[in-house]
Structure 1
Amino acid sequence: MDYDQKLKTAASWLREADGILVTAGAGMGVDSGLPDFRGEEGFWRAYPALKSHNMGFQDIANGEAFRRDPVRGWGFYGHRLNLYRNTIPHEGYDMLRRWSAAKERGAFVFTSNVDGHFQRAGFPANRIVECHGSIHFLQCTRSCSHDVWSADDFHPEVDEEQCLLTSPLPRCPKCGNVARPNILMFDDWDWSDIRAKRPRMRLEAWILGVERLTVVELGAGRAIPTVRIASERNGPRVIRINTTEYTINPTIGVGLQGPALAVLNDLDSLMR
């Protein structure tokens, strides 16, 4: 099938659905203006200070590295926290929410993104699984407990040229050790997944009540396939939207090549 034929198939699945599972990876945020860390050069364009230290994404987004140098770790994550707070989610989120509102069973979201933009766009927090955590919550670096708390009172000041936190480090209210983002990092044995467990159970219960499920997958790559696996296990009506890695087994779904917002716009024109 060509693009237009696949688009019509996808639109018909969406019209017939009584529930929509939205699965999203990093590509969903690109149309909002968030950086894409594909490849070291792409990462270093966003964080040039780390290039001089030969630090890639896996080096700074690393549980042990964060414990060794939390000032630099919070230079990176503090900048990201400010960026996500100041970035407005693109119109594609509203399209998904509008389609879902018309469905008997509504929608559920499964995302590896830590930006909190689905909540910002109006999706109910109790219907969002953030499988890699959220930057808007904190936990203890020393894992003195499994507690997770809001980052709303933390306002990081960052020297962006050096990628260093210049304001005081956040602290665990229980033990006083440095706090960290409640995000699953690389080589990370300390992440507290307590916030993700309950939504996962609600998601499984929700799926059991959906008779005509359609999955809309947006910007999820193969490198860390958590989101793609979640999509495919809930086929056979998976709509995969991706600029490059859009192919999918035709027995599971259809692949639509393009940025998330552009393809959602194309689908929305057929849904009206």
Structure 2
Amino acid sequence: MTCGPEISFGDKITVLKDRLENADAIVIGAGSGLSTAAGYTYTGKRFEEYFADFERKYGFRDMYSGGFYPYRTMEEFWGYWCRYIWINRYAPIPSDLYEKLRTLVKDKDYFVLTTNVDHCFQRSGFDRKRLYYTQGDYGLFQSSDPQEASRDKTYDNYDCIRGMLLAEGWQIGQEGELFLPESGNVSMTIPSNRIPVCPDDGKLMTTNLRVDDSFVQDEGWYQAAERYQEFLRRHEGLHVLYLELGVGMNTPGIIKFNFWQYTKENPKAFYACINKGEAGCARDITKRSVCMDTGIREVLEALEA
């Protein structure tokens, strides 16, 4: 992997502006770095604000570790996960970064491919018909053992998660903000009668996240996948900008490697990688690439200027 031509930040912005303005289509590839830049940090103050009690009891210091902890009861499992889901899916987005990105592309022919599961694109006004969430959605449940009637189904979890939080003692603001009560005390468990059960097979529910081969790809998932493939087919051989934001090497086969290949195959295509600490591209597309080892907000604000 290489970083492409060594030119200044300002020159890279000039190149990227030109490619944005003259592209027939823009394909945005968004990884976890984009949401991190938007304020979705999983450690530090944000973790301590909502999970101090779990930190004291179990010693983990980030949301990911808490998400994989082997809780002894489902009441405690969902006591943790209802907070996790709410603040990363239903509470207000911490910053306007996604809105800045939407403003940049809203008048262009664009499509979004993302491994993020926080649904920030749709919540920030992106056209839902131009979004393909490959790895799931914090806002959906699925059966823990999807078969027969539940095999291809997911279930909206807003009301269920909200009920869990209120049962723990949390307060929820008009915009979805999550507050501790005046006492500062909340339960770490939910009542047993709030444990979610699949209405189609009677088994326990779980999150619709791609963590193993039981992940449910529902009808909406397949429709989005087809819309994405059709978008790529319609723009074959045209001036396409593959704009990659915050994609690391955790799952490079979903976005990064494909973007490299599409750029290589189409002489009119251009690849842009914006990723603090992990900006680079394949050697055979360096002449049609710009890689920026810079914060995403800094780049978007420079493009606005």
Q: Report the TM range for the smaller structure's normalisation.
A: 0.7 to 0.9
User: How has the CA–CA distance of structure 1 residues 35 and 58 changed in structure 2, closer, same or farther, with 3 Å as cutoff?
Assistant: closer
Number of residue pairs matched?
A: 260
| SS of aligned partner of 1:22 | strand
Does the CA-based 8 Å contact 1:32-1:87 persist in structure 2? no
Could you tell me which amino acid in structure 2 is paired with residue 82 of structure 1?
W
2:13 is aligned with 1:7: yes
> Secondary structure of the residue that 1:233 maps to in structure 2?
helix
Q: Which residue of structure 2 aligns with residue 166 of structure 1?
A: 190
2:138–2:208 Cα contact (<8 Å) kept: yes
- Out of 92-101 and 200-209, give the one that drifted further: 92-101
Equivalent of 1:150 in 153, 156, 161: 156
Correspondence for 1:31: 37
1:96 to 85, 96, 101: 101
Aligned to 2:83: 79
> What TM-score results when the alignment is normalised by the length of structure 2?
0.73
2:271 maps to: 238
* Residues 129-169 of structure 1 deviation map (CA, whole Å, 9 limit, x = unaligned): 11110011111112142211211222132589999442522
**In structure 2, distance between residues paired with 1:207 and 1:59:** 37
3-state SS of the aligned residue for 2:225? helix
Q: Is the 8 A contact 2:38 2:98 kept in 1?
A: no
Q: Pick the aligned partner of 2:295 from 240, 259, 266.
A: 259
C-alpha distance in structure 1 between counterparts of 2:64 and 2:255, whole Å: 19
SS of alignment partner, residue 158 of structure 2: coil
Cα gap change, 1:47 to 1:89, in 2 (>3 Å): closer
Aligned match of 1:122? 125
Structure 1 counterpart of 2:210? 184
Q: 1:223 aligns to what? A: 250
Q: Deviations over 1:190-211 (max 9, x none)?
A: 1102242221111011112122
Distance 1:222 1:243, change over 3 A: same
1:54-112 Cα offsets, whole Å, 9 max, x none, are 668776555x958x754444344322221031122633322332332322xx2111111
Kindly indicate whether the alpha-carbon contact (under 8 Å) linking 2:76 and 2:190 is maintained by their aligned counterparts in 1.
no
SS of 1:23's equivalent in the other structure is strand
Q: Is the contact made by 1:77 and 1:181 (CA closer than 8 Å) also made in structure 2?
A: no
Deviation at 1:262, TM superposition (A): 1.9
Comparing 72-81 and 3-12, the one that deviates more: 72-81
- Distance, in Å, in 2 between the alignment partners of 1:163 and 1:109 is 39
SS at 2:255 equivalent? helix
Change (3 A) 1:176 1:121: same
Amino acid at match of 2:126: F
Separation (CA, whole Å) in 2 of partners of 1:247 and 1:213: 19
Kept after mapping to 2: 8 A contact 1:60/1:73:
no
- Once the two structures are overlaid, the 10-residue window that deviates more, 222-231 or 12-21, is 222-231
Unaligned runs of 5+ in 1: none
Give the equivalent residue in structure 2 for 1:131.
134
- Computing the radius of gyration over CA atoms, which structure comes out larger, 1 or 2? 2
Identical-residue share of aligned pairs (%): 20
Check 1:6–1:70 CA distance in 2 against 1; reply closer, same or farther (3 A cut): farther
Q: CA deviation at 1:267?
A: 1.5
Q: Which runs of 5+ in 2 are unaligned?
A: 1-6, 171-184, 264-268
| More moved, 49-58 vs 136-145 | 49-58
